[in-house]
């Protein structure tokens, strides 16, 4: 592996909110071995902007996609993000980006991102998802998903937790809106399915909170170089899980299941 590839790999693994600091340290440490070009840094920064739904060229909320449900779905997802992510203390970003597949203009790709960064308390977390919507016709469509959640606690060490979950393609239809004056729609059905899938992630996090203990991490427990004390892996692991749950959508009481 080249020095540039190693630098990109380290930077991609950086904790949410710590990318700039990690990049500066990489440049200092690799000053003698990494070429003068910062192309490796630009490449990773572009990747992160895409994952975080940041578009420097278009910061407007206006959406111009040639897809029948793009605009109404974008509005429904904005409401969902605002209610279930931005309403949570400390969550500083909840963004949505939409594109159509280059090889299939009928396929809609929906990217969502939320993060909680608490630098004073030295922990951070983010929730990233990509939803693929296809074969939309007469109030019915297909949806699949890819979700990644990432948390880091670094108060007296560095404990990172990362969950990746794939959701296979299923068919969804119209569902009732949470607003009584709106007719059932496919957009509401899609948001309902996203809610159900994100509940599965929450259940995984709840399980991790109960099961992640110092027993799981004792094989790498070490003496801290400054204090000469053993790192409290248990507390840091639980803090990482807690951060993910605090960043996660508040959907537990809002899922509607068909009888």
- Residues 88 and 216 placed together within one structural domain of the fold: yes
**Prediction pTM value:** 0.75
- Is 255 a residue whose pLDDT tops 50? no
- Residues 47 and 164 placed together within one structural domain of the fold: no
Q: What percent of the chain has pLDDT over 70?
A: 72
State how far the Cα of 142 lies from the Cα of 189, in Å rounded to an integer. 11
- Residues 92 and 220 placed together within one structural domain of the fold: yes
With a CB cutoff of 8 Å and minimum separation 6, the contacts of 117 are 16, 17, 90, 92, 124
Which stretch of 7-21, 31-45, 110-124, 133-147 has the lowest confidence by average pLDDT? 31-45
State how far the Cα of 53 lies from the Cα of 44, in Å rounded to an integer. 14
Q: Is residue 59 part of a domain?
A: no
Tell me the per-residue pLDDT of 166-192, one tens digit each, with 9 for 90 and over.
999 999 999 988 777 788 999 999 999
Burial (CB < 10 A; 0-12, 13-18, 19+), residue 4, is middle
Q: What is the pLDDT of residue 258?
A: 40
- Residues 31 and 153 placed together within one structural domain of the fold: no
Q: Is residue 58 part of a domain?
A: no
- Residues 115 and 221 placed together within one structural domain of the fold: yes
Q: Is residue 229 part of a domain?
A: yes
Tell me the per-residue pLDDT of 129-168, one tens digit each, with 9 for 90 and over.
999 999 999 899 999 999 999 888 876 667 788 889 999 9
The HSE-up count of residue 179 (CA atoms within 13 Å, CB side) is 8
- Is 236 a residue whose pLDDT tops 50? yes
Query: Contact, 95 vs 112, CB < 8 A?
Result: yes
- Residues 211 and 107 placed together within one structural domain of the fold: yes
- Is 59 a residue whose pLDDT tops 50? no
Q: In Å, how far are 150, 181, 200 from 70, measured between CA atoms?
A: 28, 21, 25
- Residues 243 and 132 placed together within one structural domain of the fold: yes
Q: Is residue 76 part of a domain?
A: yes
Query: Contact, 96 vs 78, CB < 8 A?
Result: yes
Tell me the per-residue pLDDT of 69-97, one tens digit each, with 9 for 90 and over.
999 999 999 999 888 888 877 787 788 88
Q: How many domains does the chain have?
A: 2
Which stretch of 27-31, 114-118, 242-246 has the lowest confidence by average pLDDT? 242-246
CATH number for the domain spanning 170: value is 3.90.1150.210
Mean pLDDT for all residues in the chain: 78
With a CB cutoff of 8 Å and minimum separation 6, the contacts of 183 are 177
- Residues 144 and 32 placed together within one structural domain of the fold: no
> Which domain, by its residues, includes 192?
70-247
State how far the Cα of 74 lies from the Cα of 17, in Å rounded to an integer. 26
Q: What is the pLDDT of residue 77?
A: 92
- Residues 46 and 80 placed together within one structural domain of the fold: no
Burial (CB < 10 A; 0-12, 13-18, 19+), residue 30, is middle
- Residues 168 and 75 placed together within one structural domain of the fold: yes
Element (DSSP H or E) covering residue 162: strand 159-172
Question: What is the 3-class SS of 19-37, one letter each residue?
Answer: HHHHHHHHHHHCCCCCCCC
Between 34 and 52, residue with greater pLDDT: 52
- Residues 172 and 137 placed together within one structural domain of the fold: yes
């Amino acid at each position: 592996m080249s020095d540039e590839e190693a630098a990109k790999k380290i930077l991609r693994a950086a904790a949410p909110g710590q990318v700039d600091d990690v990049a500066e340290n990489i440049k200092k440490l690799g000053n003698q071995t990494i070429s003068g070009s910062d192309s490796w840094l630009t490449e990773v920064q572009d990747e992160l902007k895409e994952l975080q739904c940041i578009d420097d060229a278009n910061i407007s909320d206006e959406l111009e996609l040639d897809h029948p449900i793009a605009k109404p779905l974008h509005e429904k997802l904005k409401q969902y993000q605002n209610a279930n992510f931005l309403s949570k203390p400390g969550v500083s970003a909840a963004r949505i980006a939409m594109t159509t597949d280059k090889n299939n203009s009928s396929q809609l790709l929906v990217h969502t991102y939320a993060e909680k960064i608490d630098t004073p308390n030295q922990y951070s977390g983010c929730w990233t998802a990509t939803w693929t919507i296809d074969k939309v016709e007469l109030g019915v469509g297909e949806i699949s998903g890819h979700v990644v959640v990432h948390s880091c606690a670094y108060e007296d060490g560095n404990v990172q937790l990362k969950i990746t979950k794939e959701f296979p393609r299923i068919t969804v239809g119209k569902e009732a809106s949470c607003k009584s004056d709106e007719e059932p729609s496919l957009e509401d059905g899609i948001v309902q399915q996203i809610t159900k899938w994100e509940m599965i992630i929450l259940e995984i996090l709840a399980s991790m909170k109960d099961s992640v203990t110092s027993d799981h991490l004792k094989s790498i427990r070490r003496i801290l170089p400054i204090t000469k004390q053993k790192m409290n892996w248990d507390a840091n692991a639980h803090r990482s899980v807690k951060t993910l749950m605090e960043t996660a959508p508040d959907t537990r009481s809002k899922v509607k299941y068909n009888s």
